[in-house]
Amino acid sequence: MPVTRQHTTWGFVAAGKMAAAMAQDLRHARGNRVGGVVSRTPQSAAAFVSQFGGQAYALLDAMLADPGIDVVYVSSPNNLHYAQTKAALLAGKPVLCEKTFTLNAPQLAELIEIARSRKLFLMEAMWVRWLPLVTALRQLLQRGAIGQPLHLSAAFYSLPPVANDNRFYSPALGGGALLDLGIYPVSFASLVFGAQPHEVVSVAKLASTGVDTRFSAIFHYASGATAQLAAGFDGRMRHDIMLLGSEGSIRIEMDRGGWKMRRLHLEQGGGRRTLTAPYKGNGYGYQAAEVRRCLQAGLLESEAMPLDESLAIMRTLDTLRAQWGMRYPGE
């Protein structure tokens, strides 16, 4: 059923850093507003609503039972995404769920099945897909600006706090560089090549907790194309994206320590062009606008991040972890 309300009202699950960044950016997505937050602690919930508005809920069920909430945004640690998204869908709420969507592909397959059988919107918050620069990149690729994409090099490095029990290092919270950072280059490769690799070669360095703190992978596609992808908790290092094609190349300038895209340089036939496409706020408002557009149009998923592609990407993440013998508790 299309939701044609004047405002799309968002229910936030968890009041962490990402929730605050997203709540700030709802201001850049006209027609969207914060409806409330559910948090483990009353103090965090009170601080969140005093800054962003809406209502504080002590329990997820209370938020899910509120008919004033149009869509649920899950931004808890990775290990909670599956259960919280499932609860929201079973309560009849559309969901935008943070990356990484779930811990593994079987969990995601189940969520997709529930969403489809109940005709509810569901989307992975792979926010970069709606950035103006990525929209421009898609258009360049669609019109063959660099010919056939042949090779991609992409990486994401950051320096999160080191603690065995935080969401970066704890297996129980779904930690590790692959799920925290590596999802970006892996998802980007999926966007560029429109496929998953048929062959993957990779290595990872594991922390004493058992999660990966760095990995490097080579993807080989059925088309013959290749990708060299990496991520790690080693430092806030800048790594531009390079995409080589049969008739040109693209370099995307990245910010240091973030997957934020500044400029795109296209080289083709001896000529060179630079595209600059600044984004508003933290860059998360575009995905919120897309969720509202889909809900208003009665769409159950976004063409820019289809559920089958999220699932295929999750299977690729599972393949990488299997190569390292890395499992999450309960798997």
Residues near ligand NAP (CB under 6 A) are 14-19, 39-41, 44, 75-78, 80, 98-99, 125, 127, 167, 173, 180
For the bound state, the minimum distance from the C-beta of residue 160 to ligand NAP, rounded and expressed in Å, comes to: 9
Residue type, 7: H
Closer of 108 and 244 to ligand NAP (Cβ): 108
Helix (H) or strand (E) segment spanning residue 134: helix 132-142
Q: Is 283 exposed, middle or buried (0-12, 13-18, 19+ CB in 10 A)?
A: buried
Give the DSSP per-residue string, 26-58. Answer: GGGSTTEEEEEEE-SSHHHHHHHHHHH-SEEES
**Residue nearer to ligand NAP on the CB measure, 150 or 311:** 311
Residue 128 per-residue DSSP state: G
Q: Which is nearer to ligand NAP, 39 or 107 (CB)?
A: 39
Tokens 């997203």 -> residue: 22
Q: How far is the CB of 17 from ligand NAP (least distance, A)?
A: 4
User: Least distance in Å: CB of 19 to ligand NAP?
Assistant: 6
**CB of residue 259 to ligand NAP, shortest distance in Å:** 7
Q: Which residue is nearest to ligand NAP (CB)?
A: 16
Q: Which is nearer to ligand NAP, 51 or 274 (CB)?
A: 51
Can you tell me the distance from the alpha carbon of 310 to that of 329, in angstroms, rounded to the nearest whole number? 22
Q: Which string of DSSP letters, residue by residue, matches 152-177?
A: EEEEEE------TTSTTT-TTTT-SH
For residue 28 the two structure tokens come to: 């850049």
Q: Tell me the two tokens of residue 3.
A: 């939701």
Length of the chain: 331
Could you give the residue numbers annotated as active site?
Answer: 99
| Least separation in angstroms between CB 58 and ligand NAP | 11
Residue 318 DSSP one-character state: H
Smaller CB separation from ligand NAP, 41 or 148 = 41
